[in-house]
Amino acid sequence: MNVNYSIYLVTGRDLLPPGKGYLESLDEALQGGVTVVQIREKEADTKEFIEIARASKEICDRYNVPLLINDRVDVALAIKADGVHLGQTDMSVAQARALLPKGSIIGVSCNNVQQVEKARKDLVEYVGIGAVWGTTTKTLTNPTIGVRGVGVMLEALDGTDIKAVAIGGIKESNLLRTLHGSVSPTGHALDGVAVVSEIVASKDPKNAAANLSSILSGFRARFTSVPRGRTLASSLYGDGSVPTNPKILEGVRTLMIEIRKAGPLVHQITNNVVATQSANITLGLGASPIMATAPEEMKDLERITGALLVNIGTLTAASVEGMRKAGFYANAFRRPLVFDPVGVGASQFRKDTVKELLNLYQASVIKGNAGELAALAESREVESKGVDSVGPGFRDPVAFVKSIVVMTGPTDYISDGATVVSLKNGHEVLGKITGSGCIVGSSIASYCAVASTLSTSEEQPQGSLVSGDMFLGAIAGILVLTVAAEVAVEGGHVRGPGTFLGVLIDVLWTLTPEDVIKRAKLDVHAS
């Protein structure tokens, strides 16, 4: 049976809103685009379960939508359901297969890679992966896996026809994040999402299902329009070719001109040690900074800002909630989000917080030095000491950065997942001032903001979490700042780190695209 698992509804009569009948809600949900229905009845006795399931199947049959029974093979046989969904403590797949008619659908809940691999050997039709988010509809016996944990399990299904749906706390507000964040390193995406309360608890289940279906369709349009390996669409590609130096530099020229015209507002939750200089760097580039941290205003701010920078340099328990909400709403309003995991390897608190934040929202650009990115990727190739990298660095930084996007250092590497651009501009004094990496993040966020303002709705399908060319924005952010550092030192007014920062801000204010293009030391490394 060729099943569309896109919007997989799991029923829960206890969640129905006042005045809404179960069968009425189910019918409206199917009108809205539900493609699979699973009947879950934990409290009903067998007779009631069969009555509910039989009435549900009559409605599903009218819409030609498969109906599955949770746990109970006997109920599935009694009403001639299309199949069953089994938990890890239910009967085995082999036992269910022996009892059910040939061609029946069997799905299995999986919480880790080992369970997915077992399901693969059992030749199930699909797996339900979760719980992705915390949920109030079911008592969890296993830890939530987060969106990034889904991708590891999807990779275990490579080379098979087994489908995968994510389950657990999925709503319209986090669906795009779930879809984007769960794509495996091999490009394996979810086949659908299982939803409970978002539809069942809605007074308008038809519209709730339709909204979910629209988001999923938009994601698939985006996913198929961007070649495998690349994280976001970029104007630097033409006819499938890799970006060239002239095309990149022309794009940087455009962003440098437009940032002065647009003056985008850049929201920065950043290292409080360098907040003032980060704000001044942003002004020097031509953008406008706002350095706000209160959780209560994040929704309003992300609605109007051009980009968000989240920098964990001076992380505190009190600051985390603002970071959570800001990133969530940046995704919701499709704003560029630059994430800087400063000193992530220095403490378990930083590691745990970064893991939580990157599961909660999708970063457009992740920027860090080699030590920070190694800690983020759980690699031991590069070590860190506080916020600094130690040792010679990665043996093959071009290969490593392909999944990271931006890695700063003597040579800076910027990647979109398929192509890596290396930049060798800059001056050593830039690394001698406090927060040099933090102001790089401010520069990247500023140029990503203007890149977003230049995009059109046609350039980014509905399913994208950000509009605009983030690859170009990240390149411009690095290149402009590092060239400015060279010009600042060569001007003769810098006597050391103390005088450097003021001169750097002045140079940024007067730097021209021609200055940058003439000095750019840029190489393109394509896979």
Taking the C-alpha atoms of residue 162 and residue 336, their distance in angstroms, rounded to an integer, is: 34
Choosing from 60, 110, 438, 448, the catalytic residue is 438
Tokens found for residue 348: 């378990």
Q: State the Cα–Cα distance between residues 167 and 169, nearest whole angstrom.
A: 7
CA distance 244 to 98: 59
- CA torsion 190→154→130→1, rounded to 10°? 60
481 within 8 A of 439, measured Cβ to Cβ: yes
CA distance 160 to 208: 32
- 449 closest CA partner among 200, 293, 270, 259: 259
**The 365-369 sheet, strands edge to edge:** 288-290, 265-269, 307-311, 337-340, 365-369, 405-408, 412-415, 419-423, 522-526
- Tokens 């760097």, residue located: 281
* Structure-block tokens of residue 509: 């204010």
Q: In 3D, which of 15, 12, 37 has the Cα closest to residue 27?
A: 37
Q: What spatial distance separates the first Cα and last Cα of the chain, rounded to whole Å? A: 38
- Known catalytic membership, residue 438: yes
234: Cβ contacts below 8 Å, ≥ 6 apart:
243, 416, 469, 470, 471, 472
Length of the chain: 527
What single-letter amino acid sits at 447?
Answer: Y
Where in the sequence numbering do the catalytic residues fall? Answer: 438
